Structure 1
Amino acid sequence: MTHGNARIWHASDDLVARYAEGSLPEPDAWSLEKHLEGCAGCAAQVSQAVRSTTAGAVLAQVRGAVLEAAPTVRQPLARTPPATPALPRLARLLWAAGPAVRGAWLPAVLLVAVGATALGYGGGFPGARALLLAIAPVVPVAGVALSYGPHADPLHEVVAATPAGGLRLALTRTAAVLAVSLPLLTLTGLLLPASGAPTAAAWLLPGLALTLATLVLASFAGCRTAAGVTAGGWLCAVLAPVPAAPGGEATARLAEQLSRCLDGAGAQGAWAAAAALSAVLLAARRPAYDRPIRR
């Protein structure tokens, strides 16, 4: 950055090039974008640099589509002034929440909750809570896998290079997934008969730890691969003894294995430590989210 005096500065060619490539650190990107709000010269320089990148063609197409649709959008909004501020906020909220909350994932979570309730009461299945506790920790993991990455955003490469993208966007969408799945599945567990299974809230710390571990692994291998590793590892751990159970003891064996994994201060303390360690590792891996995450 070239400083004219203590209050006036202009972006250097190197700064503009790094911003256009998406390699500028987030604090510097925020500072530059704030400067561009009041400096037409630097704004024109940045605009020209971005247009010369691969993303420039994509941005030009998006801009053209928005401008083409603008007259159609403005006319109905002009007739309904009170709705004008709400629509952009709703659109931003839905975009930030991510495809997992907007798409098929939310009905899938509801299906898990309704299915467990139907098994417990309509089907008379005594191990409904145990089965729910075995599946519940992988539900938010699946939501995270569906929320972030090239498969979730057509413009993922562009978004990941902006200050609003990267880890911040991944955490926003993860929070949306957890805000839906945690209370819904925990409430469902409370409504089901215990039948020797752990308490309905026993899966919360494991679910949080597995979700954070997925975000850490995603910085190396992509969201879907990371989700497959963490969810698969959990399911193998809790379901491994079940096939070897004789006769109708599969439900009891599952409840016993879940008790080993979830019950007691030792198990919950281990999951809390795993969640804290994953959070620390995720903070250390934050720069990896400044680049597009692989599938």
Structure 2
Amino acid sequence: MTRGNARVWHAGDDLVARYADGSLPEPDAWSLEKHLEGCTECAVRVSRAVRGTAPAALLAEVREAVLAAAAPPVARPLVPAPSPVPGPRRAARLLWAAGPAVRGAWLPAVLLVALGAMALGFGGGFHGARALLLAIAPVVPVAGVALSYGPHADPLYEVVAATPAGGLRLALTRTAVVLAVCLPLLTLTGLLLPASGAPAAAAWLLPGLALSLATLALASFTGCRTAAAATAGGWLCAVLAPVPAAPGGEATQRLAEQLSRCLDGAGAQGAWAAAAVLSAVLLAARRPAYDRLPRR
């Protein structure tokens, strides 16, 4: 058959029949399939021949059965959903939904720090309870960050990390939950304790935020637990260094003086604010690293 000056080739009936019943050699079948991409007439003929074979009839029956099984059920009157169960069970579900940031041993540890400081300050008559609390408070959110993100903290970490909500976004979410729990609790505890020469109860907020962001930034290089150990250890060494050398009875005073150097005044707080900003900038630059965070 010709069209103009070009010869137009069409598959013969024997070729179509052999293709339909599967007896056509593979090279010839590939050639025919390539031809069908541009020839509507042959494609219709081959499709009609294939539908007439036994396997095609069986596939049609299977298709009808699948469609029948997937058909929507008969519509039923809508029944209002029961209202959420109030009380402790609902609160427990909300607490579990917050993730590993507030589950496990970390939340009891925060409560233990707060209650222990109150017991020392009021039950034990320890005048340096606020100073001791301010020394420990900045590392509490750091520990929470380390314990709330990573394969060691979440059994579904591999699944969640592969979703759009994983990576740095998930780490920031867990960190926000950690900070939302410990910042008000520990600050309120500090307000209730006598000052005794220690800095203000809220003086640790900027250092706590800066250390948490620094932990997240450093974690992009080393992993969460190693980064938390570095930042928390550095802070504790800085504030506790003068204490062992203090004469008997003056350890609390030395700790309060060291905390005042680290926390009090516009200069100290400005330095912590700058550290928080720099850590945030580094964290933003290292965001892709959270897609392959070390398993440590």
Deviation of 1:137 (Å): 0.1
Is contact 2:203–2:263 with CA below 8 Å preserved after alignment? yes
Query: SS of the counterpart of 1:232?
Result: helix
Structure 1 moving runs of 4+ over 3 Å: 87-95
Is contact 1:161–1:291 with CA below 8 Å preserved after alignment? no
Query: SS of the counterpart of 2:197?
Result: coil
Deviation of 1:161 (Å): 1.8
Once superposed, what is the RMSD of the aligned Cα atoms? 2.3
The 1-side partners of 2:91 and 2:136 are apart by: 34
Matching of residue 247 in structure 1 with residue 248 in structure 2: yes
Q: Which residue of 2 aligns with 1:94?
A: 96
**Amino acid across the alignment from 1:173:** R
Q: Which residue of 1 aligns with 2:168?
A: 167
Matching of residue 158 in structure 1 with residue 159 in structure 2: yes
Deviation of 1:158 (Å): 2.5
Deviation of 1:91 (Å): 5.6
Q: Which residue of 2 aligns with 1:234?
A: 235
Query: SS of the counterpart of 2:152?
Result: coil
Deviation of 1:292 (Å): 4.3
Q: TM-score, normalised by structure 2?
A: 0.69
**Over residues 105-134 of structure 1, what are the superposed CA-to-partner deviations in whole Å (9 max), with x where a residue is unaligned?**
111111100110110111000100000000
The 1-side partners of 2:278 and 2:217 are apart by: 10
Q: Which residue of 2 aligns with 1:33?
A: none
Deviation of 1:83 (Å): 3.1
Question: How many pairs align?
Answer: 216
The 2-side partners of 1:91 and 1:222 are apart by: 30
The 2-side partners of 1:88 and 1:239 are apart by: 43
* Structure 2 alignment gaps of length 5 or more: 1-78
Deviation of 1:144 (Å): 0.4
Query: SS of the counterpart of 2:242?
Result: coil
Q: TM-score, normalised by structure 1?
A: 0.69
Comparing both chains, which one has the higher relative contact order based on Cα–Cα distances under 8 Å and sequence gaps of 6 or more? 1
Q: Which residue of 1 aligns with 2:114?
A: 113
Deviation of 1:247 (Å): 1.1
The 2-side partners of 1:106 and 1:159 are apart by: 22
The 2-side partners of 1:294 and 1:91 are apart by: 29
* Structure 1 alignment gaps of length 5 or more: 1-77
**Amino acid across the alignment from 1:192:** L
**Over residues 1-35 of structure 1, what are the superposed CA-to-partner deviations in whole Å (9 max), with x where a residue is unaligned?**
xxxxxxxxxxxxxxxxxxxxxxxxxxxxxxxxxxx
The percentage of aligned residue pairs carrying the same residue is 86
**Over residues 165-204 of structure 1, what are the superposed CA-to-partner deviations in whole Å (9 max), with x where a residue is unaligned?**
1111111110000000000000000000100000000000
Matching of residue 203 in structure 1 with residue 204 in structure 2: yes
Q: Which residue of 1 aligns with 2:129?
A: 128
**Amino acid across the alignment from 1:182:** L
Structure ranking higher in helix proportion: 1
* Structure with greater Cα Rg: 2
Deviation of 1:155 (Å): 2.8
Q: Which residue of 1 aligns with 2:290?
A: 289
